[in-house]
Amino acid sequence: MRRISSGIAGFDELVEGGFPEGRSFLISGSTGTGKTIFAIQFVVQGAMKGEPGIYLTLDERPELIREDMLRFGWNLRELEDKGLMQIIDGTIAKVGIPSDEEFSLPVTGFDLDKLLLELMKAIKKIRAKRVVIDSIPALGINFENEHEVRKAILKTIYFLSRAGVTTMLTTEVEEGSKRFSKYGVEEYVADGVIMLHYMGIGTQSNRTMHIRKMRATKPSEDLHPMEITNSGIKIHKVEEDYNL
């Protein structure tokens, strides 16, 4: 089985060298745990190694994402200009304002089939190997009930698996929840589930990462310390001694 590097420092050695290629992976956690950084780092590091990637944003406007990621030294616009990355603006379907982005959803309202069509166009244009959808809860608000949300998630993951790309999806759970995803279906259809945790005690904070599931892989089962550095996310071994 061919594996691709996650682009996350310290992560690949925990999953037998990287993600199984062409599979889908869920990044789950509460607010502020680093899900978006994790996902964008996956795309950016792949692009820098010649594996083009697509980032579909359903939460944050593309121009703000580009600005925020500069703090990690990631110039997304430069990667886009080189054809190594493409951002798809899925936020405008919610607000009804035309987008300046090359790839975006119509302002007439959300349509899953049109979203998948835009994804396919972008994948073909840059010959993408990696795709990120951020986030599942933002996708879910476009449907009337959880049954429809589950159908949309299944359809999206199936579509991307047929396209042959390695996919990362983000989802949100409430702080302290024992759930693995927003709708309780994502973890079953994804090939891997990565849980991000954040705990604040007094003036101290502690971030951890746990690989809950990884098909075709024997992953580390430990709860690993995680750090958000100036160059992105870094996963530490349990025995390492460091200061966050």
Q: 198 pLDDT exceeds 50?
A: yes
The pLDDT, as a whole number, for residue 145 is 84
108: exposed, middle or buried (Cβ count in 10 Å: 0-12, 13-18, 19+): exposed
Question: b/e string for 197-221 if b means 16 or more Cβ within 10 A?
Answer: bbeeeeeeeebbbbbebbeebebbe
pLDDT digits (tens, 9 = 90+) for 18-46: 999 999 999 999 999 999 999 999 999 99
| Domain spans in the chain, listed from the N-terminal domain onward | 3-202+211-235
**Coil, helix or strand for 124?**
helix
Q: Cα-Cα-Cα-Cα dihedral of 72, 73, 78, 79, to 10°?
A: -60
Q: 173 pLDDT exceeds 90?
A: yes
Q: Which amino acid is at 33?
A: T
Q: How confident is the model at residue 101 (pLDDT cuts 50, 70, 90)?
A: confident
Tally Cβ neighbours within 10 Å of residue 67. Answer: 12
pLDDT digits (tens, 9 = 90+) for 74-93: 999 999 999 999 999 888 76
Q: How confident is the model at residue 103 (pLDDT cuts 50, 70, 90)?
A: low
CB 211 within 8 A of CB 221: yes
Which of the listed CATH numbers 1.10.3720.10, 3.40.50.300, 1.10.15.40, 3.40.50.720 matches domain 3-202+211-235? 3.40.50.300
- Average pLDDT value for the chain: 90
Q: 241 pLDDT exceeds 60?
A: no
Mean pLDDT of 186-190: 92
CA gap 211, 192 in Å, rounded: 8
CB 19 within 8 A of CB 3: yes
* C-alpha 232, offset from chain centre: 14
- Of 68 and 109, the structure prediction assigns the larger pLDDT to 68
The pLDDT, as a whole number, for residue 141 is 82
The pLDDT, as a whole number, for residue 46 is 98
C-alpha distances out from residue 19 to 22, 88, 114, 188, Å: 9, 23, 28, 17
Q: How confident is the model at residue 140 (pLDDT cuts 50, 70, 90)?
A: confident
The pLDDT, as a whole number, for residue 242 is 47
